[in-house]
């Protein structure tokens, strides 16, 4: 956690949203396990641009997604998944959306991606020491490097954070 998966997914979504007729960003899905119906409703509302969509059960929501979104070219980000069943309940499959659609899944559990047989993977990497030092310096000192008297302290902090951007900022 904290390597930047969510930040990267947000950036991709922001940069490519104009290429899709509709898009949806479902965040922190792992923490909303018990609220799958509300995630399904959000997906349908965001894609269909209809604010009053309601589903009564997870099974109904899955059917509605498959039925109503199957022909649309969409961009969907499903952030922080920890169980392949969550993707099934959101009807996240190749056949569920129109040609040219893209689905971005962020997860800490690579097994979820194996189960769903995703097309492409990108493993977010920790920052190098120099990248981490510069990020910390921008956040702490509003410069790419601190004043001379703070360099050693800044390096100690960056080393302690281990290249994890969330810990650095």
Give the start-to-end residue ranges of the domains of the chain. 5-116, 129-167
Q: How confident is the model at residue 169 (pLDDT cuts 50, 70, 90)?
A: low
pLDDT above 80: residue 119: no
Residue 23 dihedral angles phi and psi, to the nearest 5° = -145, 160
pLDDT above 90: residue 10: no
pLDDT in tens, 128-137: 778 778 888 8
Cα 50 to Cα 91: distance, rounded to the nearest angstrom: 19
> Can you give the C-alpha Rg of the chain in angstroms?
19
pLDDT in tens, 35-63: 888 899 999 999 999 888 999 998 998 88
pLDDT above 90: residue 85: no
């Amino acid at each position: 956690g904290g390597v930047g998966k969510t930040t990267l997914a947000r950036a991709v979504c922001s940069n490519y949203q104009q290429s899709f007729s509709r898009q949806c960003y479902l965040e922190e899905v792992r923490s909303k396990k018990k609220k799958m119906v509300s995630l399904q409703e959000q997906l349908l509302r965001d894609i269909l641009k209809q604010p009053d969509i309601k589903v009564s059960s997870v099974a109904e929501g899955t059917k509605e997604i498959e039925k109503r979104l199957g022909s649309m070219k969409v961009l969907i980000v499903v952030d922080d998944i920890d169980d392949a069943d969550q993707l099934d309940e959101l009807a996240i499959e190749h056949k569920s959306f129109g040609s040219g659609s893209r689905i971005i899944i962020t997860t800490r559990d690579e097994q979820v991606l194996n189960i769903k047989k995703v097309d492409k993977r990108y493993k977010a990497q920790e920052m190098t020491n120099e990248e981490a030092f510069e990020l910390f310096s921008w956040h702490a000192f509003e410069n790419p490097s601190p004043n001379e008297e703070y360099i050693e302290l800044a390096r100690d902090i960056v080393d302690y954070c281990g290249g994890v951007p969330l810990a650095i900022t």
